Amino acid sequence: MAYIILMGPPGAGKGTQAKLLQERLGIPQVSTGDLFRYNLKNNTELGKLAKSYMEAGELVPDEVTVAMVRDRLAQDDAQAGALLDGFPRSPAQADALSELLSELGGSVNHVLVIEVDQEELIQRLLKRAELEGRKDDNEETIRTRMRVYKESTAPLIAYYEERGNVTHIDGQESIEEVNSKLVEAIESH
């Protein structure tokens, strides 16, 4: 079993890298952002609950998010582990995750932090807004998401550093370069 957390600010490339890694490692990407967007698009109860938070760039309440992750990790394709992208995002979510994984007989094996300069992030997200039209890729919401990352998510790096297994990766190199560094970090533990 391998549970790997991909961490990093909005626009760092977590989703891109998770998609590449899932094939290589044979465990699925579990992206809370993608799961919420799927629910939003299909207008489910969960989607309705998450909508206002997502559009504002704020965190969806923990009980909603944790329940969604619990369901996802119970599915057949996640029995050998998962690449967690966008979860956990707060200390409370990190506690919930370790409880959840211990119920499943696993634990967090690696925490990979992808690092990119603030300026570069904003450029990437504004470009993505043009290409994909994600509603939360506008300047005001981007600013909120960056603040939420700094306040709620970045402190988690220290939380996991105390427990070991954290690797910092420079996310400003090419996609292939970043990918091979991530693979190297995973394989060297």
Beta bridge partners of 62: none
Residue 32 within binding range of ligand ADP, rule CB under 6 A: yes
Closest to 168 measured CA to CA, from 2, 28, 5: 5
Which residue number places its CB atom closest to ligand ADP? 33
The answer to whether 72 and 78 have CB atoms below 8 angstroms apart is yes
Residue 89 within binding range of ligand ADP, rule CB under 6 A: yes
Written as six digits, the tokens of 70 are 């619990």
Beta bridge partners of 5: 84, 111
The answer to whether 28 and 76 have CB atoms below 8 angstroms apart is no
Written as six digits, the tokens of 81 are 């582990």
Residue 57 within binding range of ligand ADP, rule CB under 6 A: yes
Q: Which one of residues 60, 83, 97, 112 is an interface residue with ligand ADP (CB under 6 A)?
A: 60
Residue 13 within binding range of ligand ADP, rule CB under 6 A: no
Whether the bond between 10 and the residue before it is cis, its omega within 30 degrees of 0, is: no
Q: Which one of residues 22, 29, 39, 65 is an interface residue with ligand ADP (CB under 6 A)?
A: 65
Residue 159 within binding range of ligand ADP, rule CB under 6 A: no
Catalytic residue among 145, 147, 150, 163: 145
Beta bridge partners of 170: 115
Phi, psi of 111 (to 5 degrees): -125, 115
- Residue 41 or 188: the one with the smaller Cβ distance to ligand ADP is 41
Per the annotation, the verdict on 134 as an active-site residue is yes
Q: What would you report as the CA-atom Rg of the chain, rounded to the nearest whole angstrom?
A: 16
The residue range among 39-47, 52-60, 75-83, 113-121 that interacts with ligand ADP, by the rule CB under 6 A, is 52-60
Compute how many residues bind ligand ADP; rule: CB under 6 A.
17
Question: Which residues are annotated as catalytic?
Answer: 14, 89, 128, 134, 145
- Which residue ranges make up the site for ligand ADP (CB under 6 A)? 10, 32-33, 36, 53-54, 57-60, 65, 86-87, 89, 93, 136, 145
